[in-house]
Structures are given as C-alpha cells and as structure tokens.
C-alpha cells in the first residue's frame, strides 16, 4: 500500500483534511448542509530546510498540527455557537481576529503545559514510590513508563465516554476510512469508504503511543543525580522524543514491512478507542473534505 501523504483530524461535527500546504474543513451544519473552508497554511517557521531534516522535521510538524488543529476546531465550533451572529465592521472583525489568535495561542500553551505535567512529571514522581522496594534503576524507569502509558490509556478511555467526543471519534473513523479507501485503490464513494478500515498507521493516536514508548528508552540515558535535573531533562528531551516518534510513524505509513507492521500493532489497538464506525452522513463529510484538497483519481492513476 502506497502512502498518499494526506492526513487530517476530526473536528466538531466535521473533518479537516490536509495535503501539503493546503487544508480543508468540512462541517455538517445544524441544518444538515455541509460547509467547507479551504485555506493555505504557512508553517510556523519560514525556512524549508529544517522541515526536511530527519528527527527535526517531526518537531515542527507536530507544532503545525497543533496550530492547524486549533484553527479548524474554532471554525467548526462557530456553527454551533448559541449566541446570535452579529454583523461587525472591518475594524471590529480585525479586533476579534486578534482576540481569537491570542486565545488560540494561550490555549495551545496551556494544553502543552498540562500534557507535560500529566504525562511526564507526574509519572516520574509516582515511580519514586517503587524505590522503597527496589534499588534497580531499570525497574524504576520501566515502572515510570508503565504509569505514563496507563495515564494515557485511562485519559483516552474517560474522554471516549463523553457524548460529544463519541461523535468526534466517529468522524475520526470516517477520516481514516476515506484515506484507506484511496490508498487501497478504491473509488472514493460512500459504499467503498464504509467497508474500508477505520485504523491507519499514520494516525496521531499511534504517534502519541510511540511518544510514550520512546520516552521510556530516552529515560535510560538520564543519569543526573538531582531530581529537579531529571525532571528538567525529561521535559527538554520531549522535542527529540517527538521527532523520533514522527520518523517511526512516517516509516510505518510508507512500508508494509513485517517488522514495522508488528511495531505498529499496539498503536492500531489503541485506535479502537479513538475511532468509531461513522454513519453515511459523516462519510459524506469526509469525502467532501478530501476532494477539496486532493485529486485522488490522478494520484491513483499515477501511483497504483
């Protein structure tokens, strides 16, 4: 199976699809119509060279994904705001855009801080409890990794019980099904998408799972005596951990090597929690998002 290099994410009652520097957001509005927005995206850094360097490009791609994700979530949520829309002057609109941009920046920053505290700092201090029973550094580090993975899985399980998140996970399934349909050489229609897999090796869920696993390996190289320095090094190494995880996901999406497939399997299992079977209306939204930014017919003709 050849990678199409398109990717996306589920948003509120919709799907974002990204192809290169262009992305589309298709949203099922309350009245049943599909609203679509197509935009060019400029990377967080203006230079192209770092985006081609292995282990470095993954860091910037991750940041780009966060930024695009917040923008598209804000767009999709705008259709479901309870307040009545008011006409704004150009000056008012520009002022509102600045406020939205500031809010988005603060939200991303807060999310990163909470994620670091929850998935990196907390597991470290909880793992210190094991030191009362063993002097083995290896056992302590592995236990820290198990705690980190456990928190990650528990977090996904808990949010998957929320009604709105369940629907978002259904759209997540539709996103994967659309990409799998294309990459397996099938015509992109509701029937073919419906029977395609809702799991995909390039999924962000798999990426986060690999971040948890790769972090265990990196922790073995942290030998500082000071506890504060150990925590600080764990945080400072996060960009490199993300870069390595990105390369694994990228390789997984480009090959059907047996070893890579086995390595990808745990991430695919976790996707059973973050992807659900979509209905036909959701699949239609996914197809619309794909076709706005990707000529799948030409791609299939040239690659398959």
| Structure confidence by residue, pLDDT tens digits, 190-208 | 999 999 999 999 999 999 9
**4 phi and psi angles, rounded to 5 deg:** -90, -15
With 70 as the cut, is the pLDDT of residue 93 above it?
no
Cβ-contact 239, 44 below 8 angstroms:
no
With 60 as the cut, is the pLDDT of residue 87 above it?
no
With 70 as the cut, is the pLDDT of residue 187 above it?
yes
> What's the pTM?
0.89
- Which stretch of 41-55, 219-233, 252-266 has the lowest confidence by average pLDDT? 41-55
Residue 85's pLDDT is 47
- Sorting pLDDT into bands at 50, 70 and 90, what band is 144? very high
Percent of the chain with pLDDT over 70: 92
- Provide the H-helix boundaries in the chain: 57-77, 90-116, 122-127, 137-159, 163-183, 190-194, 204-219, 227-236, 238-254, 258-274, 280-293, 296-303
Cβ-contact 248, 262 below 8 angstroms:
no
Residue 176's pLDDT is 97
- Sorting pLDDT into bands at 50, 70 and 90, what band is 175? very high
Q: Output the CA torsion sign for 92, 94, 97, 103.
A: negative
């Amino acid at each position: 199976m050849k990678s199409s290099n398109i990717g996306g994410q589920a948003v509120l009652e919709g799907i974002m699809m990204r192809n290169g520097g262009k992305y589309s957001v298709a949203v099922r509005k309350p009245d049943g119509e599909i609203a679509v927005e197509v935009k060019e995206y400029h990377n967080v850094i203006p230079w192209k060279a770092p985006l081609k360097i292995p282990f470095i490009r993954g860091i910037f791609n991750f940041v780009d994904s966060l930024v695009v994700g917040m923008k598209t979530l804000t767009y999709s949520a705008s259709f479901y705001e309870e307040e009545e829309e008011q006409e704004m002057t150009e000056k008012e609109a520009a002022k509102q855009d600045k406020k939205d941009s500031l809010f988005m920046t603060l939200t991303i920053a807060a999310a990163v801080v909470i994620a670091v505290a929850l998935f990196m700092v907390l597991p470290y201090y909880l793992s210190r409890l094991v030191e009362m029973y063993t002097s083995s550094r290896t056992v302590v580090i592995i236990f820290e990794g198990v705690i980190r993975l456990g928190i990650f899985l528990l977090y996904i399980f808990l949010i998957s019980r929320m009604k709105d998140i369940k629907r978002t996970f259904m759209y997540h399934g539709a996103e994967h099904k659309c990409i799998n349909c294309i990459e397996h050489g099938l015509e992109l229609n509701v029937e073919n998408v419906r029977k395609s897999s809702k799991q995909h090796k390039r999924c962000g869920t798999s990426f986060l799972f690999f971040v948890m696993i790769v972090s265990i390996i990196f922790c073995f190289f942290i030998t500082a005596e000071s506890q504060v320095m150990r925590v600080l090094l764990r945080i400072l190494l996060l960009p490199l951990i993300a870069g390595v995880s990105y390369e694994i996901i990228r390789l997984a999406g480009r090959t059907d090597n047996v070893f890579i497939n086995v390595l990808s399997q745990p991430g695919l299992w976790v996707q059973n929690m973050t992807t659900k079977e979509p209905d036909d209306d959701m699949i239609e939204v996914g197809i619309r998002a794909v076709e706005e930014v990707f000529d799948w017919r030409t791609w299939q003709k040239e690659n398959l």
